[in-house]
Each structure stands twice: as structure tokens, then as C-alpha cells.
Amino acid sequence: MENIKIIAKNKKAQLNYFILRKIECGIELFGTEVKSVRLGKVNISEAYASIEGGEVFVKAMNISPYEQGNIFNRDPLRHKKLLMHKKEIRTLIGESAQDGYALIPLSVYLKGSLVKLELGVCKGKKLYDKRNDLKEKSAKRDIDRAIKERNR
């Protein structure tokens, strides 16, 4: 197993979407962006992915400028190309074309020396779905607390 270090997670994704499928893909980054990612200066909470001209781009993913980067720093919010096989992109085109489906970045991590992004094919939740999830989470927490108290 390779060494995996999680840099950033999209915690809102679990709350706002049903995650139907997860895909691992690479990101096309410049040198100063990679250094900034290694320092953990990434925000993917508002990010989403879109397919344009047979290529997948992640948008609104904020990689803060590298402090020692001077003229080599890029725009923090620029569209970053995702590296995937053509076959995977074709299946994503079919899945994301359906109503209510979106491509949401779930996490950014280092796999060995490579920066990877976990992309989720997601369907938006309604308000009542979110309430049910919160109820189940609260009930599970109460059960765990009762079991812990009883075992003392």
C-alpha cells in the first residue's frame, strides 16, 4: 500500500449530496501550487468540476499562493485540469448529464509524491433528506454514549 496523506476534505459534500460513485484522478498543477498543496493550503469546500471539450476541469478550488513563489505563483482560483482516462471521462459525461447530478471534489491527498483528487458523482439532497441524516447521526451518538456509560 502506498503512503497516503490527506490534505483537504470537503465536509459539506456528505451533508449536501448523496455520493453515488468515487473516482481518483490527478490534477495538473504548477510547481509553486504543488509546494502550497504540500503545506496544506487548499480549500475545496466551494469547488465543483465540469466537463468542457472532452476534458474535466475543477473550478473554485482555492490553492493559496506559495509564500516564496514570487513571479511563479499562479491565480489561486484558476481552473485546474483533472487527469483522467478518456473512457472515464465518457462515463462521467453520461452520468453528469442527468438532472440533479454534479461532480464534486471530495478530498485532495498526496499518494506517494503525487497530488490526487477524489471526485464524486453526486446527487443533491433535499431538506428532508438532510434532516433524516442528522436524526440518524444524533441517534447513533446517543446509543454510543449509552453503551459507553453502561460499560463503566
> Domain extents for the chain?
4-125
Which pLDDT value is given to residue 127? 84
CATH superfamily membership of 4-125: Small protein B (2.40.280.10)
Sign (positive or negative) of CA dihedral 81, 83, 85, 87: negative
Which pLDDT value is given to residue 145? 92
Please tell me the pTM assigned to this model.
0.78
Which pLDDT value is given to residue 72? 66
The candidate with the shortest Cα–Cα distance to 63, out of 48, 83, 44, is 44
Which pLDDT value is given to residue 1? 52
Residues of the chain with pLDDT under 50: none
Which pLDDT value is given to residue 37? 86
Which pLDDT value is given to residue 117? 93
